[in-house]
Structure 1
């Protein structure tokens, strides 16, 4: 017997956070029908977390048409995005990492992330402003059906797809949702992950944190010097972090518990906040919300079970240093979306979907390791705050200068993390070629631009003023730097197999040195898949590899 209001869709997404919404937007841009099941009411304010949208994420939001909306939201346009280190929020400044305010974000190239080769620099914005913009944009898309107050209770799989049983949490009624593919974007306690039998593995406890969202209208006037988006407080009484939320009166305060404070309730929340802020008992503030949480480094042992996938916190959890919790989840969504679309559009083989887990699982393991290593260094630094850091005179000044230099060198790499944005690469993927050159290594803060297959295609501006990425097609894009090279056979091979291929002839000045070949073939998520000075001897074999029809490594003919 059919349950009321049965639905059929291409993709069912469980969870309407930033990862699920981005996945839905990208799928919809490719003509794929989507149903999103979300347990919260429509437009319920999200938690106050995730204060940073990475450059790579902003590049994708540019393509999806929401970057400009996000740039207009968050802190006031002239509010500095700097990161400052002080003895307390209202205390003595130790050092400062300069980051432009959003009105100067495109024009100010002087800071440690101003040189980045990207059309979309990072954006500091809290999730309470970010998520409503993504939600409004997604809900208006005709390909998307949003089911709020709906919980996916269970699901079964067969050879053709997934049948999910969803419950309306207000009425108690149930419905079946039939889909070709389902993606769990339902957070760290993911029911999809649990039902598919995947397990999180890694380090269960790295750092315990009390987070408190406060309203304190008097605080801004008490902070000396230039405002900052983030302030790290370092004193012997309590170390913590504060983020400006609205740039006027609301703030998010993180109290980092010490190793000898294993229980949240054992720590005086109010006194810790006052020690971090550097205020006395007469200072008034209101708690808007609070949350106790544990920083971890956990990665699921698998990201896929046949027609069901995991993305975002459902697949990986780690301490949010470098802001790469949500951003890594959005990278999952962008990686998975074009693969699902390829299959649903008919030109990609089922084996093409194997690339998702092969590519994303190792990257999330690497990024989480970067974050954990940084967290451990920060924990060590907090333990080592000297008792005389607030001392007057030359003694205190010398101590503060040394601590400030150490704090800058340690933290500039997480707040200006070029490596995590542009350096990561995919390898051993069934839809990438291997031409024998190893991708360059990267760190949290540094990278080397490269066109080695698996790397992000280095950005440059086209003569007409467009970003390179603005000219990319929806599937594969062939960059041709020498118009004399004949690519007709490759175009015909792609056409015969319905593989979408856009030819982009490039006649640009000042190309990045990494572009050493006449031809560079890139895919929808801007990663290079093949390069050469002429097309392969068997272009059909390359096309088959790229659509998941050939698993053996392709020998490149040069």
Structure 2
């Protein structure tokens, strides 16, 4: 069998890669060793940038239907226990409030989409239904990728059907390994990992309980945290996940119910669904690609969940690698796009790994503030709790406020964007600074007609024209036609937007990142050079 792209791994990253390829007209196969989607709650937040990318795929309504209600907050609260005291609460907007803020601040500083509280247990079935319904995607769960051999023309992949141990080989032009932290694809490529492994021993207890009078004593909160761990409200109704930390790695064989009791401070009726020890890592693959084989998601990077960067970074990987492979398969992209995938996404992986590590240290720092005084009666206890609560407030909660990480990653050194000498590249990991410097995510606004700018972009390349000079749009149109490249010119008669977008002409690529900006382009040859660079062909701009 021959297939343009084979995807090993049917988690969120693999399924998103498949959906992106299919919407760009490329056939692919997804193989997943498990028979069903996961029952492990590996993630619980889909950030605003991932939701923007899911919006392009067209599945945001289905995802939100599976998520926590839009009028529930994203609050994070530090407590002693549910039998004790709340020390500090960081309050964050509901989805409804976030959408209202986006509309009220239409200045490019906001994302197009609000984030979403949802467990991976819920998100995977939505994605699975979408790939099952896509005619261009061959879905095979219960099938494991076991080996690969590549040559100059393609990759021969050995698959094993777990039900009967039947083995088959599939020939593909490209293979994408989205097969998790223990990636068989990465092992076959002999790609190493750099960073800190076995950061801290942890234990997950995923359970059902209707004891909301205890578990929501101070109201809805996405996370309740204490020195004993983090309790995640998966649906704000009856499903919860407790992550218990063991800094000394002396885990032993804990009783999940006892861990729940220790965190809550009282006995509650509950049913344990899944309980297991696990060890987080802070590692990034040394390479994201060898030849015609690429890796994405946890196969390429593994983080502590602080910040929620694991799956969300993987969704960015998926959308990046998919448009590049689709361009090559369809004939207008060149091999340089494969090199650009690693050049763009690995620095993001490293940056997010560092961010996750910083956020984890903040939790450790706050944990050290806990002592017996916090449960003391009378004035002594009140004073201690007020003091520690203020210290927690001052330390802050950057892991849920790092919009520079979520929205502000910029492919400034990418070989497929047109660099600008002296361009200022925002590097703040906390604040998102809107910019159209080449490589940046295009700032999002609503246009005067009420349409979201992102919704007006084409599936491939779009030239935004706020004011044309010397026939620049025509030069790009001619260059695109000669390459059979899908291309759209979007004319926007709103001069006031130049304060946000800096340049009257902006070329945007399929993943909503800026390729080039300027006031004009010299001639048709110059437009050809821009497209050649953006599509990975040898050139110099």
User: For this structure pair, what is the TM-score category when the shorter chain's length is used for normalisation?
Assistant: over 0.9
- Where structure 2 has 5 or more consecutive residues not aligned to the other structure, the ranges are none
Residues 337-395 of structure 1 deviation map (CA, whole Å, 9 limit, x = unaligned): 11001101100111222100011111101110111122123213212323312223343
CA 1:111/1:48 → structure 2, altered by over 3 Å: closer, same or farther?
Answer: farther
TM-score by length of 2: 0.94
CA distance in 1, matches of 2:345, 2:336: 16
Residue of 235, 240, 246 corresponding to 2:235? 246
Say if 2:53 is the partner of 1:60: yes
**What is the SS of the residue equivalent to 1:256?**
strand
Residues 165-186 of structure 1 deviation map (CA, whole Å, 9 limit, x = unaligned): 1111112222221111000000
Say if 2:294 is the partner of 1:309: yes
**What is the SS of the residue equivalent to 1:264?**
coil
Query: What's the counterpart of residue 275 of structure 1?
Result: 262
CA 1:266/1:39 → structure 2, altered by over 3 Å: closer, same or farther?
Answer: closer
Query: What's the counterpart of residue 172 of structure 2?
Result: 179
Q: What aligned pairs does 1:147-296 form with structure 2 within 5 A after superposition?
A: 147-221=140-214, 223-234=216-227, 239-258=228-247, 261-265=248-252, 269-280=256-267, 283-296=268-281
Which piece of structure 1 moves more, 383-392 or 334-343? 383-392
CA distance in 1, matches of 2:369, 2:198: 21
CA distance in 2, matches of 1:220, 1:278: 13
1:109 shift after superposition? 6.6
**What is the SS of the residue equivalent to 1:10?**
strand
TM-score by length of 1: 0.91
CA contact (8 A) 1:460 1:511 kept: no
Residue of 8, 16, 20 corresponding to 2:2? 8
CA distance in 1, matches of 2:242, 2:497: 44
Residue of 504, 513, 521 corresponding to 1:518? 504
Query: What's the counterpart of residue 18 of structure 1?
Result: 12
CA distance in 2, matches of 1:503, 1:115: 21
CA 1:120/1:138 → structure 2, altered by over 3 Å: closer, same or farther?
Answer: same
Query: What's the counterpart of residue 4 of structure 1?
Result: none
1:111 shift after superposition? 13
- Where structure 1 has 5 or more consecutive residues not aligned to the other structure, the ranges are 1-6
CA contact (8 A) 1:439 1:455 kept: no
CA contact (8 A) 1:423 1:447 kept: yes
CA distance in 2, matches of 1:551, 1:253: 53
**What is the SS of the residue equivalent to 2:447?**
coil
1:60 shift after superposition? 0.7
CA distance in 2, matches of 1:447, 1:246: 29
Residues 228-267 of structure 1 deviation map (CA, whole Å, 9 limit, x = unaligned): 1211124xxxx21101123222210011112xx3132165
Residue of 473, 476, 498 corresponding to 1:490? 476
Query: What's the counterpart of residue 494 of structure 2?
Result: 508
Give the superposed CA RMSD.
2.3
Residues 120-179 of structure 1 deviation map (CA, whole Å, 9 limit, x = unaligned): 011111111111101101110000010111111211111111111111111222222111
Which piece of structure 1 moves more, 157-166 or 407-416? 407-416
Query: What's the counterpart of residue 475 of structure 1?
Result: 460
CA contact (8 A) 1:478 1:502 kept: yes
**What is the SS of the residue equivalent to 1:389?**
helix
CA distance in 2, matches of 1:85, 1:333: 34
CA contact (8 A) 2:444 2:454 kept: yes
CA 1:403/1:357 → structure 2, altered by over 3 Å: closer, same or farther?
Answer: same
CA 1:109/1:319 → structure 2, altered by over 3 Å: closer, same or farther?
Answer: same
**What is the SS of the residue equivalent to 2:55?**
helix
CA 1:409/1:472 → structure 2, altered by over 3 Å: closer, same or farther?
Answer: farther
Aligned length: 537
